[in-house]
Structure 1
Amino acid sequence: MKNIGIIGYGWLGERIASSLSGKYTISATTTTENKASDLNNRGLNAVMASFPDYQLTEPVPQWEEINTIDALIITIPVSEKSCCVSSLYNRIQNLSSFIGDFKGQMFLMSSTGVYPDLPKDFIEEDVPLESVSGERMLRNKYPQLSILRLGGLMGDNRLLKNYNVGNLDHAVNHIHYADISAIITKMIESKAETKLYNVTAPIHPAKSQVINAQKNIPDEEVFEVKGKKVLSSKLVSELDYVFQYPDPRTFHL
């Protein structure tokens, strides 16, 4: 049975682990000893680890589990929105010390936030990874890295109606966590490497339409949906993938 490593056992990491645990053994990192202990009691191989955005006096020790891991999933933020470029470099250096010269399959959970807020349809080539600092730095260190640019993470307790949002006539670029897990599983099984994919549900209703659906309010108004749409057509074509949740208006069902 393959061993999957998840760096960052947060909201998304937990759901990916839950989906993969039936097929694979799971090793994970978390930021507190209590949570690591709890995960170990639940059958995961968990350790406490953090990757600060400053230079350490001593390198981060290498993960003892790393030589047993077949595929590595990174869910911690490595974007300029979370820190400046120099701080981002430090964070990636600390992460690299932890995973060493890892050669297995590797996945970075990036974001569709790399695309500018313009009213157009975006594909991966519109913003190449070379122009995204975190993606570029990690790909340079790990050439096998696949990058998944995730839309807004939704499902379970994450529903748009629970948030204070503006521009209600603008399109959503959302993704259900179950599809993220299924896409990663398919890529692991097909031994995919060095890929760059947008991961968004293929239907892009307006925010107001999603909120109305979640509140069970009839959506009678017909209007033009504005704003940007981030397309996942490359992923669908190359992986022959069929979304479990293609329409964000049904994520709550």
Structure 2
Amino acid sequence: MKKIGIIGYGWLGERLASSLSGKYTLATTTTTESKVNLLNNKGIHAVMASFPDYQLTEPLSQWGEVKNMEVLIITIPVSEKSCCVSSLYNRIQNLSAFIGDFKGQMFLMSSTGVYPDIAKEFTEEDVPLEKISGERMLRNKYPQLNILRLGGLMGDNRLLKNYNVGNLDHAVNHIHYADISRIISEMIKQKSESKLYNVTAPVHPAKSQVINAQKNLLDEEEFEVKGKKVLSSKLVSELNYTFQYPDPRSFHL
């Protein structure tokens, strides 16, 4: 059974682990000792680790489990929106010390936030990874790295109706966590390497339409959906992938 490491057992990491358990042996990192004990009791080998955005006096020790892993999934943020470029460099250096010279299949959970907020349909070619510091730094260190630019993470307790949102006539670029797990599983199966994919549900309704669907309200009027749409057509084409949740209006069902 393949061994998979998940760096960052947060909201997404937890759901990825739940989906992948049973098919793979899992190891993960978390930031609290209580979570380490909880995960180890569930059969997931967990260690406490964090990746600060400053230079450490002593480099992080390499993760003991990593030498046995065939796949590594990175869910911690490595974007300029979370820190400046110099701090980002330090974070990636700390992460690299932890995982060492890993040669297996790798995935970085990036974000569609790399695209400017203008009314346009975006593909991966519009903003190459070379223009995104975190993506570029990690790809330079790990040429085999697959980069998945995720839309807004939704499903379970994450529903748009629970948030205070503006621009209700603007399109959503959402993704159900179940599709992220299925896409990673398919890429593992196909042994994908060095790929860059947008990961968004192919249907882009307006925010108001999603909220109304979640409140069981009918949309009575037709209107133009504004704003940017991030397209996942490259992923669909290359992986021959069919979304389990293609329309964010049904994520709650």
Tell me if both proteins adopt one fold, taking TM over 0.5 as the criterion: yes
Cα offsets for 1:182-228 (capped at 9, x unmatched): 00000001100000000000000000000000000011110000000
Q: How does 1:1-253 map to 2 (within 5 A)?
A: 1-253=1-253
Secondary structure of the equivalent of 1:106?
strand
Q: Distance in 1 between matches of 2:23 and 2:190?
A: 15
Structure 1: segments with no counterpart, 5+ residues: none
Q: Distance in 1 between matches of 2:37 and 2:84?
A: 33
TM-score by length of 2: 1.00
Secondary structure of the equivalent of 1:198?
strand
Identity %: 83
Compute the displacement of 1:33 (Å).
1.1
Q: Distance in 1 between matches of 2:19 and 2:55?
A: 35
Secondary structure of the equivalent of 1:6?
strand
Q: Distance in 2 between matches of 1:208 and 1:79?
A: 29
Q: Distance in 2 between matches of 1:236 and 1:110?
A: 18
TM-score by length of 1: 1.00
Q: Distance in 1 between matches of 2:33 and 2:195?
A: 34
Compute the displacement of 1:55 (Å).
0.3
Q: Distance in 1 between matches of 2:101 and 2:181?
A: 25
Secondary structure of the equivalent of 1:65?
helix
Number of equivalenced pairs = 253
Compute the displacement of 1:27 (Å).
0.4
RMSD in angstroms over aligned alpha carbons?
Answer: 0.3
Q: Distance in 1 between matches of 2:108 and 2:15?
A: 16
Structure 2 counterpart of 1:121, one-letter code: E
Q: Distance in 1 between matches of 2:189 and 2:49?
A: 28
Q: Distance in 2 between matches of 1:17 and 1:72?
A: 12
